[in-house]
Structure 1
């Protein structure tokens, strides 16, 4: 997949963990666990999204681009996305874990009072979701993400 054409995904309800990881990695990953199969197909088609699923019946639907994920584990799913779609894990703008909006840089001085004091003292870079106004920073959780991707050779 070339850098110019970033894929957008619709992740079925059983793959919430994968949706979260794709958002952390900066990919547009819509996830609404309450949608039925017909609704998923309609939404994926209408929004030009690739439907990610482990459901073989859903994967047989026509008129929508679907990737049937073979592995039930996150690591295998990430490997398959890299192999089948050419996804890369290079640095890109992360997305809100709650609402999937791209995060915007938040100047450090504006983060004061929005994050715990310890976090403010020990971190320099902050991000803000323009939709839900949740504030993010790259703490130990981000180090865990990077370590995990390296261990998977991704």
Structure 2
């Protein structure tokens, strides 16, 4: 895992080397001096760019940051409240809403696993409806995150 200094250097170097990037900002808990630092804090950054399409149409530029365990982009959330509830039963909707609540590491991990379970259930049913053979690679992703969870759990006694 990179140190905070290494991450800040990487974020700034990417901005300096790419002429499409005009400004980079850091948001979130890392900007709040009252929030204690910990090993799990993410880097909420925004790049202000001259050509948005060149970034969104080819995400390979993100590989500079290294292997991603997960990624959330602003556009992921645009359709969430507007449409998804119409396609879920009430119990699953409640589970999904609860993934946005959490102030402990344990609750965040539970939210991740709940999301993976919901994704698998709904994507499998869509695959059946469309007569599509559903790939089982998402099970490998779940196993990968469980492995990391168990490692963190033993390292940090969550």
What TM-score comes out, normalization by structure 2 length? 0.28
Which structure: larger Rg? Answer: 2
The structure where strand makes up a greater share of residues is: 1
What TM-score comes out, normalization by structure 1 length? 0.29
